């Protein structure tokens, strides 16, 4: 399998939510573990609360709601 070159990958931070990664073949977490990417776009958790890390599972919405109340 060939990996995407950096020029083919884009990263976008969603305010209060995940980081959208487009065009990547692999996402490497803070511990150095590589996670294969099988979709054109993946949402990487930026809040640290996901139960499916490194992927966003929507928990950031619950965290934000509790913080607002």
* Binding of ligand FES by 42 (CB under 6 A): no
We find the least distance from the C-beta atom of residue 65 to ligand FES, in angstroms, to be 13
The 8 Å CB, 24+ separation contacts for 49-56 are 53/29, 54/27, 54/29, 56/17, 56/18
Segment lying near ligand FES (by CB under 6 A), choices 5-13, 28-36, 41-49 = 41-49
Give Cα 8 to chain centroid, integer Å: 17
Site map for ligand FES, 17-36, x if CB under 6 A? xx------------------
Distance CA 57, CA 30 (A): 18
* Binding of ligand FES by 60 (CB under 6 A): yes
């Amino acid at each position: 399998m060939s990996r995407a070159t950096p020029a083919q990958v884009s990263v976008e931070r969603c305010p209060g939510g995940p980081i959208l990664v487009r065009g990547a073949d692999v996402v490497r977490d803070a511990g150095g573990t590589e996670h294969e990417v099988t979709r054109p776009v993946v949402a990487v958790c930026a809040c640290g609360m996901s139960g499916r890390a490194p992927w966003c599972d929507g928990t950031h919405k619950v965290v934000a709601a509790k913080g607002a109340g």
